[in-house]
Amino acid sequence: MSDMQRASIALQSARSVVFFTGAGISAESGIPTFRDKLAGLWARYDPQRLETAEAFRANPALVWGWYLWRRHQTTQAQPNAAHLVPSRLAATGRQVSVVTQNIDDLHERAGSVGVVHLHGSLAHPKCFACHRPAELSEEQLVVQGDGEEVEPPRCRRCNGKLRPAVVWFKEDLPRTAWKTAMEMVTTCQVLVSVGTSGIVTPAADIPEIALAAGATLIHVNLEDVSLDNANELMLIGSASEVLPALLK
Ligand code: BJW
Ligand code: ZN
């Protein structure tokens, strides 16, 4: 039997399934991944300049403009066939959870509820100084293009600069999100890991944590990212083709 057939049977006979997703699931919606050599964001930008608290302190307008641009890209994008699979599987009566590293909202827009965002989300900013969540008006979200510098708006409570509520390097993951993810990952029967390079910890440990807790692990990726475990299946291909095929 092929890995595809085994994966399909495992998925359709499981009572509880977790989809653990990375940038690759949104790539076919037109949102660039981080590390792909040609189209990846980091082939063109230096993450040290943009995705750390030090970078924000040094050049808040560059970093704020960069996230406005990425938010704009996200609002222009539509969920693809892969994003629709968790809610389709949930509709068949299984317990289905989505744990994502992505800061976009394409899982939600594809009908998944209770999505756990391990690296935060683009939807709501927070204050860099007092950490309180903040809301923005539409005109504060306008951005003309890639690389534009925009002064971050100020916090109404303490006048600190607003930052996106995403997780930068060396920052802790949101405590509740991590705790909820651990509960899901250690109790599911199947974990489907989609479109992630498995480089950025602690999220990268999730597939191994699921395996150690007894789950079957199914990887879906353009490249072989398997970990060499007997309870693991590697499906090489694009998420928008492989995931829907699993439900057939
Ligand atoms: C497809 C496809 C298709 C493509 N179909 N597949 C040294 C110094 C400082 C820190 C560290 C250090 N060494 C280790 C650390 C820890 C660090 C870390 O892991 N760094 C690594 C780079 C080594 N982690 C952290 O800092 C975390 N915090 C932490 O550990 O705190 C404790 C601590 C304190 C003090 C010091 C050290 C530790 C926080 C991590 C936060 C990650 N943040 C980002 C940015 C979020 C905001 C934003 O988007 O701007 O999260 S980085 C970026 O990577 C983003 C992603 O969620 C994350 C993972 O990337 P992902 O999703 O896997 O994407 P890619 O591009 O890597 O892969 C795409 C995959 O899809 C590929 O495999 C393709 O093949 C595949 N694919 N198209 C199917 N159509
Ligand atoms: Zn504040």
| Rg over CA atoms, the chain | 18
3-state DSSP assignment of residue 248: coil
pLDDT per residue over 197-206, tens digit each? 999 999 999 9
Distance CA 46, CA 34 (A): 11
How much of the chain exceeds pLDDT 70, in percent?
99
Q: Bridge-partner residues for 127, per DSSP?
A: 162
Torsion (CA) 75, 246, 223, 103 in degrees, nearest 10: 20
Instruction: Find all residues with CB under 8 Å of 23, minimum gap 6, and list them.
Output: 31, 32, 33, 34, 101, 102, 195, 196
Direct distance between the N- and C-terminal alpha carbons of the chain, in angstroms, rounded to an integer: 16
Q: Which residues surround ligand 2, an ion (CB under 5 A)?
A: 127, 129-130, 155, 157-158, 160
DSSP secondary structure string for all residues of 15-48: SEEEEEE-THHHHTTT---SS-TTT-HHHHS-HH
58-62-68 Cα angle (round to 5): 135
Work out the average pLDDT over 68-90: 95
pLDDT at res. 222: 97
pLDDT at res. 21: 99
Contact status, residue 193 vs residue 215, Cβ threshold 8 Å: no
Of residues 83, 117, 119, 219, which has the active-site annotation? 119
Q: What is the CATH number of domain 1-30+79-119+172-248?
A: 3.40.50.1220
- Residue 35, token pair as written in the block: 């590390």
| Residue whose CA lies nearest to ligand 1 atom number 58 | 200
Residue identified by tokens 């909202």 is 105
- What is the pTM assigned to this prediction? 0.97
State whether ipTM is beyond 0.90: yes
Task: Using pLDDT thresholds of 50, 70 and 90, give the confidence band for residue 163.
Answer: very high
Annotated binding site for substrate: 67, 70
pLDDT at res. 152: 95
The bound ligand whose nearest atom lies closest to the alpha carbon of 55 is 1
Phi (first) and psi of residue 72, to 5 degrees: -60, -45
Atom of ligand 1 nearest to the CA of 202: 30
Distance CA 125, CA 162 (A): 6
Distance CA 47, CA 32 (A): 14
The bound ligand whose nearest atom lies closest to the alpha carbon of 174 is 1
pLDDT averaged over every residue in the chain: 94
DSSP secondary structure string for all residues of 202-227: TGGGHHHHHHHTT-EEEEEESS----
Task: Give the least confident one: 36-50, 81-95, 211-225, 228-242.
Answer: 36-50
Q: What distance in angstroms lies between residue 49's CA and the mean position of ligand 1's atoms? A: 15
Residue 158 CA, chain-centre distance (Å), reads 31
Atom of ligand 1 nearest to the CA of 201: 19
The bound ligand whose nearest atom lies closest to the alpha carbon of 130 is 2
Atom of ligand 1 nearest to the CA of 41: 66
pLDDT per residue over 8-47, tens digit each? 999 999 999 999 999 999 999 999 999 887 777 777 777 7
- The segment(s) of the chain belonging to CATH 3.40.50.1220 are 1-30+79-119+172-248
How much of the chain exceeds pLDDT 90, in percent?
85
The better pLDDT of the pair 45, 228 is held by 228
Residue 76: HSE in the Cβ half-sphere, 13 Å Cα cutoff: 12
Q: What distance in angstroms lies between residue 133's CA and the mean position of ligand 2's atoms? A: 8
Distance CA 31, CA 83 (A): 13
**Is 124 a known active-site residue?**
no
- The segment(s) of the chain belonging to CATH 3.30.1600.10 are 32-76+120-166
- Protein residues whose CB sits closer than 6 Å to any atom of ligand 1: 22-24, 27-28, 33-36, 40, 51, 101, 103, 119, 166-167, 169-172, 195-197, 199-202, 220-223, 225, 238-239
Q: What is the CATH number of domain 32-76+120-166?
A: 3.30.1600.10
What single-letter DSSP state applies at residue 152? Answer: P
